[in-house]
Amino acid sequence: MPHAISPCGWIHAERPAGSPRAPRDFRWVERPPLPAHDDGAARHLEPLRALGIAHLLDAHTHWFPDAVNRKIWEYFDRHYWPVTYRGSTAERLDWMRRNGVHRFTTLTYAHRPGMADWLNGWTAEFAAATPEAVPCGTFFAEPGAAATVRRCIEDFRFRGFKLHLRVGDFDPAQEALHGAFEQIEAAGLPVVIHCGSAPDPGRFTAPGYLRRLLLRHPRLKVIVAHMGAAEFDTYLALAESHPTVYLDTTMVFVGFSACDPFPPALLGRLEGVADHVLFGSDFPTIPYAFSHAVEGLLALPLSDGAKRRVLRDNAAALFGIPIPPI
């Protein structure tokens, strides 16, 4: 698909005449615009090998049934940015492997009642056929959420969960979800939660909702998506003070205004919290090549040991994934 640079500086896919333009003004805020395609060079692999990392662990990738993917990509075309890695499931798996990703999560999320069980069944089938997949389930604020989580843990043997509070539009600390989170907490499994206000705020994306959840489930392992963008300071402080709170780097440190810029004044605290940060790419719904996200992390003012933990070791420990030899 051809691409062009818009007057405001962000890259968009050229659309047929008369088709709607994305109304949001996402742009490159720290770097010049990059080609919105992947040439297959995987330029991050050599710097990773220099760090002693042969394979990446990606803690934030999305895998949906084809029909759901089409709906998501259509929505992104209308409201956000063009998706770089379109195509079939097989084609996207090939891109993951070309980019040296050893294991990756299978994050889905439901936007309405009655959807989570179907998504979880699809995820179980996908993971059974995909050795690299780290299967993760989802649930919704509806009767039966606890039973949904029980099937994910006991029947499917999933390694974690994902919730999107803006898309789902629910309070995670509500009484109806107590049984679901109680099981996840007891099993020691992580749950990735999109709870920041970027790229769009929702009714339940303020930090107070996550704080209430953690008060009720203090041992719950939570991975805050996008490092809590745009409330970076608040969620960074939470990761510093709470032993079971982690941050993923999805669409941060890339210079694209959906979740960036990360405040320079906070960079000095990253080394201290490096045990609680995980690399995430948001593949395939990103407007740039996968390498760009890895290169952004490699450029951070962190020690080599901290970078290894962020890019591989932390996710391996949290999801129970063996690290293969170099």
For 280-303, what is the mean pLDDT?
A: 96
CATH of segment(s) 52-319: 3.20.20.140
For 89-94, what is the mean pLDDT?
A: 96
Mapped onto helix, strand or coil, the DSSP state of residue 262 is coil
Residues 10-61: tens digit of each pLDDT: 333 333 333 344 446 788 887 777 778 899 999 999 999 999 999 899 999 9
Which of 86, 61, 92, 54 is closest to 73 using CA atoms? 86
Tokens standing for residue 207: 């930090």
What is the predicted pLDDT for the residue at 26? 87
* C-alpha span between 176 and 196 (Å, rounded): 22
Which of 10, 160, 18, 127 is closest to 76 using CA atoms? 10
pTM: 0.92
For 112-132, what is the mean pLDDT?
A: 97
Would the CA dihedral through 69, 72, 74, 76 be positive or negative? negative
Domains of the chain by residue range: 52-319
Does residue 225 have a cis peptide bond before it, meaning omega lies within 30 degrees of 0?
A: no
Contact 104/96 with Cβ under 8 angstroms?
yes
61: which strand partners? 283
What is the predicted pLDDT for the residue at 212? 97
What is the predicted pLDDT for the residue at 319? 97
For 87-94, what is the mean pLDDT?
A: 95
9 falls in which pLDDT band (50, 70, 90)? very low
Mapped onto helix, strand or coil, the DSSP state of residue 87 is coil
What is the predicted pLDDT for the residue at 25? 77
* C-alpha span between 84 and 62 (Å, rounded): 13
